[in-house]
């Protein structure tokens, strides 16, 4: 029996030495389990003499401990190797530059709005904002737009009630400002506006405007022209020229559509200006005396001018964009160009 126990120890230790993680548990069960080889040998101790039993029992315990110790050592070595592999795989070199993540940037409409604001702030204008949900009075009546005017038709304006609507222009900000301030007034009012237009390449039910207002003593059409010339040169280039074409707006008199010389061809005619040499950029005029009176300003003492431009239109012209829908579709291929 002693010889058999020693053979079991030798065989078990050899098996453990060459074992893998997957076979180690099988070896343990084979030699130390309830039906293992060591247990099977110990069941024959009943045939031993009383003097032999303690010796064989001690030997069996030594063999069990040596096998368990060998298994524990093997497990520890496997764990150490596994940890080493994991550390190698997860090793981080802190001196290696990190991977650059894509960063967001300013939307082209926001960029142009800020450029416009900077231009007019540089000329002494103040930025003023107002509510997008507006009263009919401020959006139309105070601006000298009669009830039967086409702009009041529900096909053009989003009405919430008969007297409340989504503003169709930022001009109500001018009225609110004149009601609460005494001249001199020099403001711009950028912001979102809403009109019930079908969506196509040049129209959108939501778009952005920037309107300007100057009210003081002795303001003339010449002041308006000088202001817009300065704006056009800063926005489109120093060689830009402007021209006024007679037009009609209910809230200005006289009124004009304002064109800028094409900054691509210099007025010679090209694809951008459709061969005309000029590009329409905004509407403007002298503030109508009725509008001044409606806001509590004496038109006999004060005069003023106003102008309004579409931020989308300015962006499309200056960036060579031919479809207004691109601004709102969040297509990364488009936005990444800016």
pLDDT in tens, 169-222: 999 999 999 999 999 999 999 999 999 888 888 889 999 999 999 999 999 999
pLDDT tier for residue 44 given thresholds of 50, 70 and 90 = low
Do 319 and 194 share a structural domain?
yes
Do 7 and 47 share a structural domain?
yes
Do 277 and 225 share a structural domain?
yes
Question: In this prediction, what percent of the chain has a pLDDT beyond 70?
Answer: 91
The structure tokens 């548990």 sit at: 25
What's residue 208's pLDDT?
A: 96
Do 173 and 83 share a structural domain?
no
State the DSSP code for 203: -
CA-CA-CA-CA torsion sign (318, 321, 325, 327): negative
Last residue of a domain, one of 89, 117, 149: 89
Q: Mind listing the pLDDT tens digit for each residue in 243-278? A: 999 999 999 999 999 999 987 777 788 877 788 889
What's residue 110's pLDDT?
A: 95
What's residue 115's pLDDT?
A: 96
- Across the strands, what pairs with 188? 127, 212
- Asked if residue 103 is part of any domain, the answer here is no
User: Contact 135/166 with Cβ under 8 angstroms?
Assistant: no
pLDDT tier for residue 338 given thresholds of 50, 70 and 90 = confident
Do 132 and 26 share a structural domain?
no
Do 44 and 156 share a structural domain?
no
- Asked if residue 177 is part of any domain, the answer here is yes
Q: Mind listing the pLDDT tens digit for each residue in 58-109? A: 777 777 788 778 878 877 888 888 888 887 887 777 888 888 887 788 999 9
Give the span between the Cα atoms of 101 and 55, in whole angstroms.
Answer: 72
- Asked if residue 96 is part of any domain, the answer here is no
- Select from 271, 264, 270, 247 the least CA-distant residue to 318: 264
pLDDT tier for residue 332 given thresholds of 50, 70 and 90 = confident
Query: Which residue would you say has higher pLDDT here, 136 or 268?
Result: 136
DSSP states along 276-291: SSEEEEEEEEEEPHHH
Last residue of a domain, one of 89, 117, 134: 89
Query: What's the domain range around 51?
Result: 2-89
Q: Is 70 exceeded by the pLDDT of residue 25?
A: yes
Do 52 and 12 share a structural domain?
yes
Number of domains in the chain: 2
pTM above 0.85, yes or no: no
Which CATH number do you get for residue 167? 3.30.930.10
Give the span between the Cα atoms of 88 and 268, in whole angstroms.
Answer: 68
- Asked if residue 264 is part of any domain, the answer here is yes
Do 83 and 126 share a structural domain?
no
- Asked if residue 101 is part of any domain, the answer here is no
Do 285 and 224 share a structural domain?
yes
Do 115 and 57 share a structural domain?
no
What's residue 47's pLDDT?
A: 67
Give the span between the Cα atoms of 28 and 15, in whole angstroms.
Answer: 10
Of the candidate ranges 57-66, 77-86, 134-143, 317-326, the one whose mean pLDDT is the lowest: 57-66
Cis status of the peptide bond prior to 184, with omega within 30 of 0: yes
Mean per-residue pLDDT of the chain: 87
Burial class (CB in 10 A: 0-12, 13-18, 19+), 181: middle
Query: Which residue would you say has higher pLDDT here, 1 or 265?
Result: 265
- Select from 62, 41, 295 the least CA-distant residue to 179: 295
How many whole angstroms from its chain centre is CA 147?
41
Last residue of a domain, one of 56, 89, 122: 89
Do 157 and 62 share a structural domain?
no
Do 74 and 112 share a structural domain?
no
């Amino acid at each position: 029996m002693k010889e058999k126990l020693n053979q079991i120890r030798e065989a078990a230790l050899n098996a453990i030495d060459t074992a893998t993680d997957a076979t180690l548990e099988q070896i343990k069960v084979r030699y130390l389990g309830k039906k293992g080889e060591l247990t099977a040998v110990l069941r024959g101790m009943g045939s031993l003499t009383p003097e032999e039993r303690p010796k064989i029992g001690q030997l069996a315990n030594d063999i069990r401990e040596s096998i368990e110790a060998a298994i524990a050592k093997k497990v520890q070595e496997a764990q150490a190797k596994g940890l080493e592999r994991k550390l190698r795989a997860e090793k981080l070199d802190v001196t290696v530059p990190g991977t650059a993540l894509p960063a967001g940037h300013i939307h082209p409409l926001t960029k142009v709005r800020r450029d416009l604001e900077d231009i007019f702030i540089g000329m002494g204008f103040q930025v003023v904002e107002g509510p997008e949900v507006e009263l009919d009075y401020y959006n139309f009546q105070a601006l000298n737009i009669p009830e039967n005017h086409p702009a009041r038709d529900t096909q053009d304006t989003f009405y919430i009630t008969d007297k409340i609507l989504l503003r169709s222009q930022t001009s109500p900000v001018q009225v609110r400002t004149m009601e609460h301030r005494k001249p001199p007034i020099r403001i711009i009012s950028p912001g979102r506006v809403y009109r019930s237009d079908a969506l196509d390449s040049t129209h959108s039910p939501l778009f952005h405007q920037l309107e300007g207002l100057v009210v003081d003593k002795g303001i003339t059409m010449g002041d308006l022209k000088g202001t817009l010339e300065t704006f056009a040169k800063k926005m489109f280039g120093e060689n830009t020229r402007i021209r006024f074409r007679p037009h009609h707006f209910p809230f200005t008199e006289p009124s004009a559509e304002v064109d800028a010389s094409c900054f691509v061809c210099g007025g010679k005619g090209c694809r951008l200006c459709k061969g005309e040499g000029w590009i329409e950029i905004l509407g403007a005029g002298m503030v109508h005396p009725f509008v001044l009176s409606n806001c509590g300003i004496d038109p006999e003492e004060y005069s003023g001018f106003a102008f309004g431009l579409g931020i989308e239109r300015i962006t499309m012209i200056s960036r060579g964009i031919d479809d207004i829908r691109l601004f709102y579709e969040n297509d990364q291929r488009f936005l990444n160009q800016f």
